[in-house]
Structure 1
Amino acid sequence: MTAVDVPPIVLVHGTRFSAGQWSPQLAALRADFRVTAVDLPGHGTRADQPWSLKAATEVVASAVDSLDRGPALVVGHSLGGYVALEFARLRPELLRGLVLAGASVSTRGAWATPYRGVAGLVPRIPADRLTRWNDRLLRRLYPPEVVEATIRAGYAFHTLPAAWGEVLGRFDARAMHHVKAPVLILNGEKDTVFRSGEREFARAHPDARIELIPRARHLANFDDPRAFTDAVRRFALHLPPRD
């Protein structure tokens, strides 16, 4: 693949986080790719902006345009994965490839029930308490160079009910029918909930494959940053040339 064919990469964070979630991947990918990470509405530098799924896809589209070499490979984790699926539906001309990380479970039916409960519970807990819990958890599980950018950026607890309220009941494997680009379903081996529909998602697309990161959980890009980054890099370099 020539330098002209190398795809730009847009990284889309998960629930409550921000672009800081991708600091390990940004540092590792910049040598080979034009790459950026976004803050979705209601998160990070956009904390004051109201959430909507449509507005989230517009943020991704603006990021692709800013790299000036579109279409792009979009990497979405958890909430960001469902945003990426909606982006694929609304802006297929800007998508060259899709990585779904921790986002291959249906958000319809019985699966949605516990997440509706969490979305309803979060506003009842003071944000400073939730922040302390999250800071302690991340620092206990991961080294500083992996999570300090996420901790510094803070958490979007106030946006969680609106974001998941819109995602829940909306997505299942049929969403893959709208994706007109190759797909890598990249999950942590131990992420038993969010990878539970991975086979159905893969079967719903003619050019999708599954890759698991051994021993990793839902935050696979934190659990094994190198393995996650290497999987994204390999997928990016094997995407078909632009038309």
Structure 2
Amino acid sequence: MESTPIVLVHGTRFSAGQWSYQLDALRRHFPVTAVDLPGHGARFAEPWSLGAATEIVAAAVDSLDRGPALVVGHSLGGYVALEFARRFPERLRGLVLAGASATTRGPLTAPYRLVAGLVPRIPADRLTRWNDRFLRRLHPPEVVGATIRSGYAFHTLPAAWGEVLGRFDASAMRHVAAPVLILNGEKDPLFRAGEREFARAHPNARIELIPRARHLSNFDAPAVFTDAIRRFARELPAD
């Protein structure tokens, strides 16, 4: 088994189940784990905070007992990973930002604030049905089945995005000491909007696009996404 440990951090409303395909593929070669953020998955009842989220990531790194880890964050998880990189630089060997290279500051975030305010007004069972149908229509069960079975954390969305919005832009990359891969779906214009600014703000960052993939790129092209993680992990310097 190769030495680079990998920690996977899910996106908005999901859980560690988001990474079922990647876990199965990567554990053949690397020590790897996926976390549930506060208010999500097995931590459904825990209150959200960005600080608590980063401590969960840090505990996951320590649990692999291989030194600093490659942390892969998707969407909300990407911004958690950026904050983790600032707070725990000694635990980070590399960083993958997937669908998380857009600024969360300024007037363009208004639609996200609107959505965060609307979600609590819609019954959770209705949101669950919509999400289940959406995922089943677009993706095979071996890719999204674990996500569907784990359920969704709609109740946490307002607090999570309320803390992330207004907090991150390309300047956050200056706090990242490790190499960075900015991994975006080619057809994800919103969340890759700032990818060039994010890359320019870091001396050892590169952008990689997944052809025809959208925001949920690890669902749209699971094998391609996983291969990008695998290649990047193998490029990282030893601890």
Moved over 2 A (4+): none
Q: Tell me whether 1:15 sits opposite 2:12 in the alignment.
A: yes
Give 1:71's aligned amino acid.
P
Identify the residue that residue 57 of structure 2 maps to in structure 1. Answer: 60
- Aligned partner of 1:223 in structure 2 is 220
The residue type equivalent to 1:211 in the other structure is E
**One-letter identity of the residue aligned with 2:72:** V
For 1:158 and 1:241, locate their aligned partners in 2 and report how far apart those are by CA, in whole Å.
Answer: 40
Name the CA distance, whole Å, in 2 between partners of 1:183 and 1:140.
33
Give the structure-2-normalised TM-score. Answer: 0.99
Corresponding position of 1:37:
34
Q: How many residues align?
A: 239
What is the aligned partner in structure 1 of residue 75 from structure 2?
Answer: 78
Partner of 2:180 in structure 1?
183
Q: In the alignment, what sits opposite 1:213?
A: 210
What TM-score comes out, normalization by structure 1 length? 0.98
CA distance in 1, matches of 2:25, 2:216: 17
Segments of 5+ residues of structure 1 without an aligned counterpart are none
Partner of 2:231: 234
Code of the residue aligned with 1:51 in structure 2: it is W
**Aligned partner letter, 1:89:** R
Counterpart pick for 1:150 among 147, 152, 155: 147
For the residue of structure 1 that corresponds to 2:208, the secondary structure is strand
In the TM superposition, what whole-angstrom CA distance separates every residue of 1:119-155 from its partner, at most 9, and x where no partner exists? 0000000000000000000000000000010000000
Structure 1 residues 61-95: Cα deviation after superposition (integer angstroms, max 9, x where no partner): 00000000020000000000000000000000000
Question: How much does 1:219 deviate?
Answer: 0.3
Residue 162 of structure 2 is aligned with which of 125, 140, 165?
A: 165
Which residue number in structure 1 is paired with residue 195 of structure 2? 198
Structure 2's unaligned 5+ residue stretches are none
Distance in 2, matches of 1:188 and 1:232, equals 14
SS of equivalent to 2:188: coil
